[in-house]
Amino acid sequence: MEEKIVTRFAPSPTGYLHIGGLRTALYSYLYARKNNGNFLLRIEDTDLKRNSKEATEAIIEAFKWCGLDYDGEITYQSERFEIYKKYIQKLLDEDKAYYCYMSKEELEELRNKQEAAKERPKYDGRYRDFKGTPPQGIEPVVRIKAPQNGEICFLDGIKGEVKFKVEDILDDFIIARSDGTPTYNFTVVIDDALMGVSDVIRGDDHLSNTPKQIILYEALGFKIPKFYHVAMIHGEDGKKLSKRHGATDVMEYKAMGILPQALLNFLVRLGWSHGDDEIFSLEDLKKLFDPNHINKSASCYNFKKLEWLNAHYIKTLPFEEINHQLKELGFDLSIYKKAEFLLDLLRERAKTLLEIIGGAKSIIEEPKSYDEQAVNKFVNEKNLFLLKKYAEELSNHRTSSDFESFTNEFLQKNDVKLKDLAQPIRIALTGNAVSPSIFEVLEFLGVDECKKRIENFLKFRRK
């Protein structure tokens, strides 16, 4: 019987969800879903001083916004301390771990000595086989009895065979602090093993943790999962992605008017490909994704590519989905007449939902002011006279359709071209010189509203 694929995403709630973290979560999610496995969410909140309830809520909110579901309840490490204590005691009882009574002074002396000798700082194992009376006034830490020579090897799904020389990287590392709280590497191993995690997909900044975790898996008799260490996302300058390259908080993208479909499509392509394909729905990805095809090298963040994808989804998603996301930003297009018609006017040019909102408001809301630069550039006495005549003749055009024919007849009758009239009409209707097709704006607003707005603009010019 084939082993069930179980993956997980395990963020620490000390801040917002980074887009690099979301990419890792997405890869883990897709691999589980493709194989009818389980995708688990675990909050690693053992650092009680740095944890934030708001950060936990932000992670859950980001998952919800992106449409990434997880199986079962969220696991919180802060609720599992008794489990960790049990396994620490197990290692102590089996002489695979020990109490270390090294004082701060001893540690400092050792570090100074190693530094002077230009040696790698590491614990020297002085309490590894200690059988004497524990020193007074020292709360001991618990250290694992790590191997002291040889190699630790594993087959990484992305990097291939990875080898670590024990003497170069390891000492008897701490698994429980002096206050009894377990360390990161220990809790990760316990939780991944007990939760049945078969495949761990994570950033390659965790690569140095892997040999320590393998030692713990072996000491506890747990099955070692398959590891996939994903290369980092870099900015266009080749440096690690940071705020100077653009937003790194997932929810900032929502506030910027980026659709979750576009963000997920963008992130999955930062390190993974399927031929020359660029556009992938979440359903496509659930069928196609394979972590063995993740690139070994770092990927480059390109905001213009994200904008291009966002524009694609704005053009192609149904009205209901776009409006749902607009409502998330506090703007409900569906309350207006001809809402779908208006969205279709705006979506061809828009790169973000904020542009949709701005464009919609500029058409729906009667102008309270007019762009001075546009007025100075496009409005003169001749076309003001034309605009006045146009408004008067609108009264005879009682239907809200075929404004193009009506306008062309007007232009022909007055022996002028559309360029003489289009921008003044646009400014009168929207307050500026940028809008979708003027005929469609006229159609959306209807005869009475258009006439009223033109007359208001004419009054404004007469002041």
CATH number of the domain enclosing 454? 1.10.10.350
**Using CA atoms, how far apart are residues 239 and 255, in angstroms rounded to an integer?**
25
**Using CA atoms, how far apart are residues 461 and 463, in angstroms rounded to an integer?**
5
User: Are 257 and 389 within one domain?
Assistant: no
User: Are 114 and 173 within one domain?
Assistant: yes
User: Are 258 and 308 within one domain?
Assistant: yes
316, 344 contact by CB (below 8 A): no
> Looking at residue 402, what is its pLDDT?
83
User: Are 133 and 249 within one domain?
Assistant: no
211, 169 contact by CB (below 8 A): yes
* CA separation, residue 446 to residues 25, 412, 429, 458 (Å): 49, 22, 11, 18
User: Are 271 and 310 within one domain?
Assistant: yes
Question: Which segments in the chain show pLDDT lower than 70?
Answer: 1, 243, 245-247, 397-401, 463
192, 83 contact by CB (below 8 A): no
Report if residue 2 sits inside a domain: yes
For the stretch 32-64, pLDDT in tens is 999 999 999 999 998 877 777 888 999 999 999
Reply yes or no on whether 243 is catalytic. Answer: yes
CATH number of the domain enclosing 288? 3.40.50.620
> Looking at residue 120, what is its pLDDT?
86
> Looking at residue 104, what is its pLDDT?
87
Instruction: Give the end of a domain, one of 168, 195, 230.
Output: 230
Report if residue 348 sits inside a domain: no
Number of domains in the chain: 3
User: Are 235 and 179 within one domain?
Assistant: no
Q: Find where tokens 């005869």 sit.
A: 447
Q: Provide DSSP, 267-320.
A: HHTTTB--TT-----HHHHHHH--GGGB-SSPEE--HHHHHHHHHHHHHHS-HH
**Using CA atoms, how far apart are residues 276 and 74, in angstroms rounded to an integer?**
37
> Looking at residue 199, what is its pLDDT?
98
User: Are 90 and 200 within one domain?
Assistant: yes
Instruction: Give the end of a domain, one of 203, 230, 257.
Output: 230
Asked whether the CA dihedral 60, 66, 67, 71 is positive or negative, the reply is: negative
88, 142 contact by CB (below 8 A): yes
Of the residues 163, 243, 304, 459, only one is catalytic, namely 243
**Using CA atoms, how far apart are residues 264 and 276, in angstroms rounded to an integer?**
17
Max Cα separation, the chain? 110
Residue type, 95: D
> Looking at residue 1, what is its pLDDT?
59
pTM: 0.91
> Looking at residue 246, what is its pLDDT?
67
Report if residue 340 sits inside a domain: no
For the stretch 373-384, pLDDT in tens is 999 999 999 999
Strand ordering across the sheet containing 38-43: 6-9, 38-43, 75-76
User: Are 87 and 211 within one domain?
Assistant: yes
> Looking at residue 394, what is its pLDDT?
86
User: Are 221 and 238 within one domain?
Assistant: no
* CA separation, residue 385 to residues 257, 321, 428 (Å): 41, 44, 13
Alpha-carbon radius of gyration of the chain: 32
In terms of Cβ atoms closer than 10 Å to its own Cβ (0-12, 13-18, 19+), residue 265 is: buried
User: Are 239 and 295 within one domain?
Assistant: yes
Residue type, 405: S
Instruction: Give the end of a domain, one of 196, 230, 264.
Output: 230
Which three-class secondary structure string do you get for 408-444? HHHHHHCCCCHHHCHHHHHHHHHCCCCCCCHHHHHHH
Q: Is 243 annotated as a binding residue?
A: yes
User: Domain limits at 404?
Assistant: 366-462
